[in-house]
Amino acid sequence: MSYPIGRKFVVAVSSNALFNLEKEDKIFHEKGLKEYKKYQTRNKNKILGIGLAFPFIKRFLNINNVYSKEKPVEVVLLSKNSPETGVRIFNSISHHCLNITRGAFTSGQSPYKYIPAYNISLLLSTDKKDVVNAIDAQYAAGLFIKTTIRDDEDGTELRVAFDFDGVIADDEAEKIYKEKGLEAYYEYETKHVKEPHNPGPLADFFKKLSFFQQL
């Protein structure tokens, strides 16, 4: 039996993070939307190469292979493409055997507004503005920095590292350190040692991820 959608552990990913769309972005910025749409439609059956988020998304979706009856995790595609140009993206998703069936094509609008509708715990994107918009709206979001992808294609293990202040917990103590220095920080932490931290923006993500370790 599948998990109810309200209980699923949902991560959203932008099309630019999941796949390499550098060439397509260049066409959009240099030649405009019309030429971009023409290019995407003409190449709808040409498979896109993997992007920065691909290894994480692939391993995250593998959780459903471990819990094949419950299928507790889901990835939602949030793309600023139009539905017409999105055909190529879903063709690429199918080619790479990623079990992603839901998505929103916003035709240029920032996708953070769709986060509550899809019960999303984390948005991943290569667009800094979209990430900042999500964080400003009190949603958890992460920015992928351009780098070289190194991943074992046959690997299935998922490892996630977290910062604590401002991520798992709020940044109350961090602010004191930045404003008043290390000594004031130690004094504050000692005074409040028995008080739990307030949750940070990734607290919900962390709780849901730890559930699989319990299993």
User: Which residues are tagged catalytic?
Assistant: 163
Measure Cα distances from 183 to 7, 13, 127, 175, 179 in Å.
43, 40, 37, 13, 11
Query: What is the C-alpha separation between 109 and 186, in angstroms, rounded?
Result: 44
Strand duo 102-105 + 120-125: pairing:
unpaired
On the CB side of 210, CA atoms within 13 Å amount to: 8
Roughly how many angstroms between the first and final C-alpha of the chain, as a whole number?
A: 17
Query: Reading across the β-sheet that carries 102-105, which strands appear in turn?
Result: 102-105, 73-79, 9-14, 120-125, 141-143
Task: Classify each residue of 174-184 as buried b or exposed e, where b means 16 or more C-beta atoms within 10 Å of its C-beta.
Answer: bebbeeeeeee
Those residues whose C-beta lies under 8 Å from the C-beta of residue 215, and which sit 6 or more positions away, are 67
Distance between CA atoms of residues 177 and 187, nearest Å: 10
CA torsion, ordered 23, 133, 160, 168, to nearest 10 deg: 170
